[in-house]
Each structure stands twice: as C-alpha cells, then as structure tokens.
Structure 1
Amino acid sequence: MSHALSQRGAALAALLLASTALASAETVLHRGNAGEPQTLDQAHVSIDIEGYVISDLYEGLVVYGPDGKVIPGAAESWTISDDKTTYRFKLRDNAKWSDGSPVTAEDFVFSYRRFEDPKEAAGYANLFYPVKNAEAINTGAMAVDQLGVKAVDAKTLEITLERPTPYLLELLAHYAVAPVNKASVEKNGKDFVKPGLMVSNGAFMLTENIANDHITVVKNPNYWDAANVKLDKVIFYPTEDQAAAARRFEAGELDVNYGFPSEQTDYLKQKLGADQIRIAPQLSTYYYAFDTRHEPFNDVRVRKALAMAIDREFLAREIYKGAQIPFYGTVPPGIPNYGEPEKSDYADLDQLDREDKAKELLKEAGYGEGGKPLKIDIRYNTNSNHEKVATAMAGNWKALGAAVTLTNLDVKSHYAYLNDGGSFDVARASWGADYADAENFLALDISTNKTFNYGHWKNEKYDALMAQSYTEMDPAKRSALLHEAERIVLSEEPITTLMVSASSWLVSNKVKGWQENGVNKHLSKFLSKE
C-alpha cells in the first residue's frame, strides 16, 4: 500500500514539475526582417527593417496601434492650442527607461535637439521641419537650443510648430524621432547602441546584435505596460534571401517573415494555407531614381524615354502576381486630403506605342541607332523579386538599343551608398509613407533633401512650390500646389515610379494580434504566440 502511494506521489510530483516547466517556458517570437539594419541609432536610420527593431526597443510620445492608427505611447494624453501650433504632452508617471530611471520631458528635448543638430547629420532631419526653428537649426542658421520643444516640468513636454501640421502625430510616431537616453548617449557616445550599453524605454531591451546573424531583444521589466506584453523575447533575422526565408517559415523556424518570393504566392497558399499569407495594400511606392549629375541622365529626354519604355503591367502581373499595382504617378492613391494622383502623359498609351515614342526621344537626344551608344547600369538591393524587375527593365531598355548591366548590393550597403551620395546611373528604391500626406512623397525630390533625393535633381520652380505648400493654410490651395509639384516631377522624371506596393508577410497561425494596416507597422508588443 505504501509502495502504491509512493508511486502516485512520484507521478504527482512529476506532473507538477512538468506543469511548472511549461508555465516558466519562454515565449519567443522568431521574426524574419528582410535584411540587416545599418544602425540602431534612430538619428541615422532610413529604412523600415531598422524601424521594426527600433520600434520594439524605444517608444515615442505616440505609437502606431495594431490597426495602424496613432495611439498614446510614452505620453498618456495631449492638448492642442486653438491655432493648432502648440501641442502639450503629458508623459506617463510610470514611464521608465530600462535601467529603471524615469522617462522625462527633458529626455525628449535632448533627443529632438540631437536629431536636428547639424553636427549629428541625421538623414531624416527634414521630417521634423514643421517644428519651430527646426530647419534653421538643421541648416546651421540658428542655435540648437532654439528648437520649439521645451520641458514645462518633468512630465510635461510642449512642442511649438512653424505652422499647423495636420499629420504631426503620425510624424511623432516615426521611429526616427523615438527618444534616446541622455545619460547613456553622453556617457557612451556612438556605442550607446550596443547591447549592455543601450538604455531604451520601449517594451523590449537589446541583449544581442550579431552582424548578419540575428538581433535579440527581451522583455523590458521596467516598461510601463510590461504586464500586457506577452512575448518574453523577439529574435530578428536578416532574411534577405526570401526563398530561404519561406523554407524556414515552412519548417517552423520563423514565426513571421517580412516578404516572400511573389512567384511562390499560389504555392505558399496551398502549402501553408491562405490565412498565413498576409498581403495588404499600403501607401508605398516602388521606384527608380536617375542620377541627374552626369550624362546622359541629366537629359530629361533620356530619362523620359527610359521611364516610358518600362512595361509596368508585366512587372506587376508576372513578377508580383498582382501583389503590386502598375502606377504612373508619384503620390500613391488613398491619401484623403490629396485626392486623385496625377499621372504621366504616356500612361494611357499601349506598350508598343510607348516604345516607339521612347526611341524618338532617344534619337532626338542623340542616342540609339546611328547615335551615341547608351550604357546603363541598374543598381538594386539583393532580393529575388528586385532582380527580376531589374532584369525585365534591362530587356525593355535593350529593345531601345541600350547596353545594360546590373549591380546589386545587400540592402544595408545599397541604401548606405545612396544616402551617402554615391554616383550611379539608375537605382532602385521604395518609399513607404511616414504619414498620410502627399508631401511625404513629394519632399523626396526637393533639392535640399540631401539624404533621399538620390539623383540630386534640382528644379527651382518645384522647390518654390513645395516651399509655398508649407505655408499655405487653406487645404484646397495647398493640395493644388502639391498637384502642380507632382506634375513637374512627372514631366521631368528624376524618378520613375513603377508600382504602388502591397505589404507581404508570412505570419504563423500561432501568432495572435497581427493586423494588416496601410502603414505596415507591426509592433511586437501587440503580438502573442501560442
């Protein structure tokens, strides 16, 4: 009898031990991130794969919720002055940094000043230009302490604007203006981004950053909403090879992956189930920039001819299988205060007519049959879909008599080269809306935008129209100015937009809380895993 009891007792102990082990098991999200971030310093980021990591580590005054709408973040509430030029934010009393120190209004003042300081040379500095004196400071005309941000008290931040800015909250949700920890930055300098030195205020903390392998973030116990964060750890992988990433997802090694080979869409739906294939329209463009600093791409006729010859319908239909839409404008559709985008004057021609007109333009410019040889190098970031697009474009241009070569770099190196002003012929890029306003797309081509005007195009009338739009308070008149600016871009073709994008993700059924949204923001703090 005692032997039987002891057996039952042992079984009960084993069951309790197993239950305890299950209860204490870590919940880890394995997240494919489409490439290697250049940096985790928010002042020097430029692409979304950096933003996904930074948005898990840091929290701005406001953040994007699961549905893509702006919700309170480090600030629990805010008020707006009657003239819409002063915002006062109340920070959460329990908002803390990962080292346990309080998040204060002074932290945001320090961070925003650092962001606009010309010595810092933040690539996204123009994002903050609606703030009082930001542009003057960033261009060296005014001292950094004149920025229109001030700490009213430890938990109250006031932001004063140059002009009413209806998209200010979306701007403040951007990962580039997430706060940094003043003490850590001043103590560690550029090393503040390293594991063990980084002090962050978001739902997670950085513990590992192994180049070209993985980035690990773990739950921040000092985060104000830690009780509602369901994940213990998120591991980001630089899954630049989409086909390999899809296989890893299929094998259960990845729970989420950003992107997949478009030609595998139907196969993946059949193999994995359509509910794990997430494709959603977004305010995003897929475009190519021409380097207008050298011949022949400083000739609008050459740029126009090359843009005209690209078979956008083929790219969208055959390469992206409908996950992208052919496009002939600059500003994507779906921006409420802008209306219908403009479109190129060749948009309604069939492809053969476009090719004929393109040949005429090239001949007029002195290229093509009997003219100077036309040599073009297409640069793109390594990705099977981008390679197919570049190859198809090369075919279109070879039909015009051009000799075309292809050059590819990993995503980090590709954008670093463009951001730093490297010379090229034609280069692939994409742009996802930082906020739902046409200005966010048109500002890319302002001549003073040294970071994102990759082709260094300059048009004084265009610059003047954009400058005027920043001071025009009448929404209809402002929209008209922006439409006129878009027409100039389309006539000059410093960039040529090929498609408007859809976001594409692989999301395991084990992952809960995922929602498609137009801004393609997916913070890990809102996700859980079975």
Structure 2
Amino acid sequence: MKTLSGRWLFVPFLFIILWLTGCEGDDPGQPPTSPPQTATATVATPTAAVVEQRPENFYLIATDAPSRDGTFTDIDEFGTLVGYDAELMALLADQAGFEYEFVVTNLNGLFPAVAAGEFDMVMGALIIEDQPPAGIVYSEPYQELGQMLVVRANEIAIQGQAGIGPGMRVGVVANSPGEATARSVLNVADADLVLYMSAASAAQALVNGDVVAVVLNHMDAAFYTETYYQQLKIAGNQTGRNAWLSSRAYGIAVAAENVDLLERLNGAIEALQSQPDYSQLQMNWLARQVAIVPGESLIGTPSDEVVIGTTQALSDLDPAATVPNLLSWEVKLNTMTGLFRFDADNNLDPVLVEFINVQDEGLIYTISLKPDLTFPDGSALTAEDVQFSFLRAIRQGNFLLNGFLKDSDDDGFADTDSIELLGELSLRLVLDKPISYFTSVLATTPYFIVSKDCFPEGLAETSTCGGLGPYLIKEWLPGESLRLEANPDWPGRAPATPRIQIRFYPNSEALRTALENEAIDIAWNGLSRAEGAELEAGTFLGWNGPTVFKSYLVLVEDDPEDPPAERSPWNDPRVKQAIAMSLDREALASQIFGESRIPLYGPIPDGVPGYAEQTQTRNLEEARVILQAAGYSAGDPLSFTLHYLNDGRYTALEGEYAALIKAQLEETGLIEVTLEGAPWETFRPGSSSCEYSAFLLGWPPVGQPANFNDGMYWMEYFITNTERVCSHYESEQMAELLVQAEAADAMPDRPEARYALYAQMQALWATTLPTIDLTQEFSYALTASTVSSLRIDTMGLLRYDTIGKQDPSG
C-alpha cells in the first residue's frame, strides 16, 4: 500500500483527501520507517459529481483526526494520517482487495452523507451503538476494549469496584475510556482522579504507591499484571471479561444498503483477527508494552528465582575495569569466566582449557582452548577473543596483567606480543618472570574472556554482554536490580536455580525490611551480625562462609641505620615476640565479635589454597621474661600509642576491640598502651605515611576482594611492600623463600612443591612477624528458610550457581 499525505483542515463538510491505496505486494503491517512523500491536498465539497468520479472497487472513508487521545487517528509532523484506525484500514484493504481514500472531516452529523452515498464508510474510533443511526449499519467489531481495575499485588482491601471509595486516589490515562470509566462506574471524584499521559506512567505510579489503583484497558492491564506479577494484579484476581468494569466495541459505519461492502469488511475483519499483523498493530497502538521500574516483589519470590538483596553498589560489568569492587567481581564471576576457574571447593578447574604446557622454567604458557564453546551473543570462543580480552585489560592499566605478563620496556604495560596467537584455538602467554601460582591469577576477573564481537576495545562499564559464565545477564537497572538467567551453553555444572535477581538497597534498614517482607531470599553484605542474630532467632537462617577479612597489628620499625637510641622498640625482634605472646586471640575473637570471628595465627586465612595450620598459646610469663631482658620494667614500661579506625569502616566494635588489646598487653605489667581512634580520612594518611608507631589494619581493603585466590596474595604484599605498609620488615631468609616459591613447579595440577614452601614461609612468619595476626572474620549471609544451599568462596564471593531453594508450597 502506498501512502501520500497532504495538508489537512477542519471545515464542516469541506474535506482534504489523503491518498491511500491498497496495493498488492506492500507490507501494511510494518510501521513507516521514514517520512512519506508529500502531495498537494485538494479541498472540495462532496457533491454527486465527486461521488460519480470514484472508480469501481474504490472507497471514500470519512475520519476525524486527531481522535480524543490520538490513539485511533492522528496527524503526524509530516501531515500524514496515523494511528490504529489508519493502519488497520491498510490491513483490511489489503485483505479484502480494495483501494480507498481517507477524508479528514468533522464527523458530527455525517451519517446522512454516508447513507446518501457521499462517503462509503466512517472510521474514527466509532463506538458501536445498540441502535445505529437511520440508514446506517456497523461492521462487526474490529476492536473491543475493556477497562480493568489494577492494584498492587499485595492489596487485600480492594477486591473490585466496590473497594474504591472517597479519598482514594485512582490513576487513569487522560482522555481515555479508562478516565470515563473511573468517573462513571467507580464514581471517582475529580479531587481523587490522577491523570497520566500513558499507561506506563500510570502503572509506575501504582508501583510507587502514588495511587491505590489504576484503570487500564484490558491489554495494558494484562501486560503489566503478567509482566510485573510480583508488583501488580487485577483487583480481586479476576480474569477475562468478568474483570471488565466497562467495555467499548469499535466498528466501521457503512450505508445500510451497501451490503456488499459490509460483507467484505466483516470477512476481512474476521480473517485479520487471527493474523500476527493484527496483534502487532494492537501492541503498537493500544498496548505499547512500555517497561516500568517494578521495584521489589510484594508477594514473596518465585520458586524458580532467588532474589538477593544487598547494600553494595555494582560499579561495572566489564572485566577490564580496574576498580576492584567486591560486588562487581562477584557478578562477573557468575556471568563470565577465565581460562581457569576455582570452584566453590577451591579446586582449580581448566574450564576453557583443553591442554596447557608450561615451558622455559615457567616463563611460557602454551594453551589450547576447548572447542565448540559459545558466547551469549552466539559467537564461538576463539584464541582471538582471549587475546582481545587481555589486551583490553592491559590498555586499561590493570595490574594483574601488566604486573605478570612480559613488559620488555618496563613502561608498566605488558607487551602486545606477550599474548601470541598460534591458531584458531591456541595461543602462547609470555610472563615477565616465572610465577608458580600464575594459573590462579588466570582465574581472576581481569583475565575473564569476552566476545570481541560484543565488547568494544575501550571500556564498557555498563555492558550486559557478559561472557562464558553460569548465568546470562538479562537486564541491569543501575541502582535498582540486576536479572540473570542460567546459561544453557555453560560448559560447567548447571546452576541449582535457573534465575537470579539482585536488588540494591540504600541502607541496612531497607534491606532488613525487604527480607522480613519476603521480597528477597538472601540479605548479603548489608546486615550486621547483631541484626542477623535477632533474625536468626526467628525463621531466618544464618550462613557462614570462609574467613575473608583479616585484622593485623602493624608495628612500625625505623630505619636500621638510625642510632639505637632513636630506633623504634619494634626494631628489636624480641619486643615484637613479647607482644605476640601477650595476646589472647581466642578472647579477642569471641569476647568482642562473638561467632563472627575466630583467631588468626598466621598470614593466610583458613581454607585459602596454601594455608598451613599455625597455633600460638598466650604466655604472659614468657612475655615478661622477654620484655625484662629487653630492658623494660614496671617503672620503665614499654609505652606506645595504638591507633585504630573509629568510624565503623572495619567494624562498629573497633573501639572495644582496641581496648581489649590494650588490656591484654597491660596484663604483663610491663606495657603501657594509649589508644587513639580516628576516622578514615585521618587514619589513612597517618598509617600510610608511617606516622603511627602501631596501628590496627584490616585486609583486604573494605569493599575489595582478594586479588587472587592463593596463599601468596596474603603474604607477598607484606614481605615486598614493607615501606608502603610501614612495617619496614626485612628478612633475607623470607626473601629467599619467596623467590623459591615463585619459581616452584607451575603446573596447576602439581601445587605440592609451592605449598611446601608456603608452609615454611608461614612458620618463619610466626617468629619474625612482618605483622602480628589477630583475628579473621567469616563472610556471612542471612536467608529465608526456603534457601536450602549456599556457598561463599575464599575470596568472599557468593556463588550464585550453588544457591538452592525449596518450594514453600510443598
């Protein structure tokens, strides 16, 4: 069908002809993609002469534009007649095989002109009347619209129209049948009627609680209550026509004598209503299916979806990003993967790797990829994708690549040829120096592989492309929610739950309310242990994961070249040993933190690959002997200030924690401690510039994960960055063990030699004390009783694919 448009004018019984012809071979179901050509319109009086000029099989249709709400007919900026009626007539004409012209005019008093044959039809949101005007008949309805009352999903008082009373705000689309229904059927007063410009804005207002109900046509009502069933429903849970408050049937008026035209129209209407073009047309104009922001569930969570609530922010979904945001790394872990991957039991899985060969004493890694692996965008995984992904992260300045891959010019960026393509599924990686734990590093977020066809070369923080992971990213509404679905192409074990939703809350109060209202299944990283204990006393379940946060006492040594009288007491290793012996780590953990912490006797938290058990018993007598040998006495005690963070960044109990440390040390009778707390903006520069002689340090930094899942992460930093940590620790023996451990057997299936060296390092740590390890804190989640399984890994990341859920109904 070809469409030509002209100017239009409202003049009683003067009209402008808009030329529209039903031509075979065009696709009338598709909305126009470009402005139609413009023809000069003619203005004429519809006389018998005009009628005689109409050729056979050609019909003149009177219409009114714009219709009351612009849905059925309107005039666009190009002067073209648009709307539901205009596009529907194109489909009907194509179906029935006739040509036509629309005439835009005032429909008032027009029916006699139709009966007299001056027009063949009238189409313009005409409501079929029980008694048509004289000489007029209506076609079968080409559209029926029922009006329905929609309420929030947890509404119990409003079961139907009787539930609406004075003072209750009801939303409607302005100038719509819904507005008329609210006034005439529900008797909503003007003061209580809230007008919106679209069904979407009315539905959003209902979700937000701005109104108690909205009146929508049945198609809009069906879309919003079916799509957002956790937030919206039809009042009284009624279905079908039983829920219609009112209805209107729309038809085409023709002369009663024009039986042939009436039959053609009715046949075309009946045939069209079963065709996809008809449904698409309804969605385009009558139920446009505009998404809203649904908010949290009001009726609990579905049995096939786990909803996780958190107060953390999701910074990005790009593995090349350099900000080590804890939640961001967690989501990427569940939607992407690297060449290697740790499972929830700390087993290193070559999930994308068919074969690996480590050569040249650990400098070169030759890797063959598994075949037939597919990204969410449908493209196949190749070595080019690996190279593309690594180079993206390198260009962003990501340390975990630039600090390990070959950097021949020492510019801080790994060389491009450190990632060499050998074939479609094979590549070679060249390191800057041998690193025995490099395959553990390959399992970290910056090394995750993404599709070169979906991600750009630059950073794409808001991308939802994802990668090869257990879940696909279906929707991300920043600050609101993230929706995931199980990835059917994931080569690993299928997730326990097919759908995951993460909801973001501004504070712990909102998170707790959501859990108590059953809007979420899991409260993750947002509730304190005290709040958790209160809720666990009821029906909620607490889950401890591995310990992922360590508390250290850092003792700042001075330059050993300084005169002895000017050196810190910590330069004497005996004094550091006495401090360590004076501390009761068991009491520090249990008396202050209850069940949330346990003692820490070495640098590596329990359960991390390479951990070797260390123990140390408090021995006050031995500590006193050592201190006395070092020259201290009751009259001349070891005196120092212990600095700690007092703004709750580590814990709200940090002051009590520091006070108990002070009390334990002073039990020797030879130590005197002054406590000084400070907020982060003061504490950070004071500790990092070595102004403090002793301070409590939490590790890793709050809101960040461990860089990689290996015991070396927890040791290397405090051995090689002693000036930055301010401990100024030096040990030739420890430095040699570090070199040996990094150069150990690098094959991922043979970590024993490396772990044996780690054990030696941990034993030496206990005597030379780069830091004094105090306590370690469990990761913690609180869940509804329907959650049946849940795993948190040793980096503190929740493994969504392990979360199981019972159906509460049975």
TM-score by length of 1: 0.69
Structure 1 residues 460 and 321 mapped into 2: Cα distance closer, same or farther (>3 Å)? closer
Contact 2:596 2:777 in 1 (8 A): yes
Deviations 1:479-514 (A, max 9, x none): 554344334433343322223443321122344653
Name 1:230's counterpart in structure 2: 498
1:12-411, aligned counterparts within 5 Å? 25=229, 29-33=306-310, 35-36=312-313, 42=319, 43-46=321-324, 48-65=326-343, 69-71=347-349, 73=351, 75=352, 77-81=353-357, 86-90=365-369, 93-96=372-375, 103-115=381-393, 117=394, 120-125=396-401, 129=404, 134=405, 136=407, 139-140=410-411, 144-147=415-418, 149-159=419-429, 169-179=439-449, 188-189=458-459, 192-193=460-461, 195=462, 197=463, 199-201=465-467, 202=469, 203-205=471-473, 214=479, 216-219=481-484, 224-225=489-490, 230-231=498-499, 233-237=501-505, 241=508, 245-246=511-512, 248-258=514-524, 260-263=527-530, 267-273=534-540, 276-280=541-545, 282=546, 284=548, 286-288=550-552, 290=554, 292=556, 296=568, 299=571, 304=577, 306-334=579-607, 340-343=612-615, 347-350=616-619, 352-353=620-621, 356=624, 364=632, 370=636, 374-379=640-645, 382=648, 386-397=651-662, 399=666, 400-409=671-680
Structure 1 residues 34 and 141 mapped into 2: Cα distance closer, same or farther (>3 Å)? closer
How far the C-alpha of 1:353 sits from its partner, in A, is 4.1
1:513-528, aligned counterparts within 5 Å? 514-515=790-791, 520-525=796-801, 527=803
The answer on 1:464 being equivalent to 2:464 is no
How far the C-alpha of 1:141 sits from its partner, in A, is 8.2
Deviates more, 1:420-429 or 1:486-495: 420-429
Deviations 1:357-378 (A, max 9, x none): 68658965x9x96579633321
Aligned equivalents of 2:439, 2:338: Cα separation in 1: 10
Name 2:180's counterpart in structure 1: none
Name 1:4's counterpart in structure 2: none
How far the C-alpha of 1:156 sits from its partner, in A, is 3.9
More helix by share: 1
Structure 1 residues 481 and 377 mapped into 2: Cα distance closer, same or farther (>3 Å)? same
Name 2:285's counterpart in structure 1: none
Aligned equivalents of 1:80, 1:173: Cα separation in 2: 14
Supply the AA of the counterpart residue of 2:775: M
SS in 1 for 2:720: coil
Supply the AA of the counterpart residue of 1:88: I
Structure 1 residues 499 and 427 mapped into 2: Cα distance closer, same or farther (>3 Å)? closer
Structure 1 residues 78 and 379 mapped into 2: Cα distance closer, same or farther (>3 Å)? farther
- Residue identity (%): 16
Supply the AA of the counterpart residue of 1:270: A
Supply the AA of the counterpart residue of 2:595: G
How far the C-alpha of 1:114 sits from its partner, in A, is 4.9
Contact 2:547 2:776 in 1 (8 A): yes
Deviates more, 1:324-333 or 1:372-381: 372-381
Name 2:16's counterpart in structure 1: none
The match for 2:698 among 429, 435, 446 is 429
Name 1:5's counterpart in structure 2: none
How far the C-alpha of 1:388 sits from its partner, in A, is 1.7
The match for 1:489 among 751, 765, 773 is 765
Deviations 1:125-157 (A, max 9, x none): 58x73xxxx26559548961242x333334444
Supply the AA of the counterpart residue of 2:308: R
Which stretches in structure 1 are left out of the alignment for 5+ residues?
Answer: 1-9
1:439-478, aligned counterparts within 5 Å? 439-447=712-720, 454-455=725-726, 457-459=728-730, 461=732, 462-473=734-745, 478=754
Deviations 1:238-292 (A, max 9, x none): 76x5x8755543343442233553445654332125xx21124x36452225274
Structure 1 residues 146 and 35 mapped into 2: Cα distance closer, same or farther (>3 Å)? same
How far the C-alpha of 1:61 sits from its partner, in A, is 2.8
Contact 1:307 1:496 in 2 (8 A): yes
Aligned equivalents of 1:311, 1:245: Cα separation in 2: 35
Supply the AA of the counterpart residue of 2:449: P
Supply the AA of the counterpart residue of 1:388: L
Structure 1 residues 95 and 236 mapped into 2: Cα distance closer, same or farther (>3 Å)? farther
Deviations 1:459-497 (A, max 9, x none): 251223201222234977655543443344333433222
Contact 1:97 1:223 in 2 (8 A): no
Which stretches in structure 2 are left out of the alignment for 5+ residues?
Answer: 1-147, 149-217, 231-301, 559-566
Structure 1 residues 170 and 480 mapped into 2: Cα distance closer, same or farther (>3 Å)? closer
How far the C-alpha of 1:447 sits from its partner, in A, is 1.4
Deviates more, 1:180-189 or 1:170-179: 180-189
Aligned equivalents of 2:500, 2:398: Cα separation in 1: 32
How far the C-alpha of 1:47 sits from its partner, in A, is 5.9
Deviates more, 1:153-162 or 1:170-179: 153-162
Contact 1:91 1:104 in 2 (8 A): no
Contact 2:548 2:796 in 1 (8 A): no
**Structure with greater contact order relative to length (CA < 8 Å, sep ≥ 6):** 1
Structure 1 residues 428 and 387 mapped into 2: Cα distance closer, same or farther (>3 Å)? farther
Aligned equivalents of 1:284, 1:478: Cα separation in 2: 22
Name 1:506's counterpart in structure 2: 782
Aligned equivalents of 1:422, 1:51: Cα separation in 2: 30
Aligned equivalents of 1:185, 1:454: Cα separation in 2: 38
SS in 1 for 2:499: coil
Deviations 1:19-47 (A, max 9, x none): 99668858665434464467665452446
Supply the AA of the counterpart residue of 1:150: E
Aligned equivalents of 1:183, 1:123: Cα separation in 2: 25
Supply the AA of the counterpart residue of 2:416: D
SS in 1 for 2:651: helix
Aligned equivalents of 2:538, 2:317: Cα separation in 1: 36
Aligned equivalents of 1:291, 1:57: Cα separation in 2: 41
1:4-15, aligned counterparts within 5 Å? none
Contact 2:655 2:677 in 1 (8 A): yes
Contact 1:330 1:341 in 2 (8 A): no
Contact 1:56 1:525 in 2 (8 A): yes
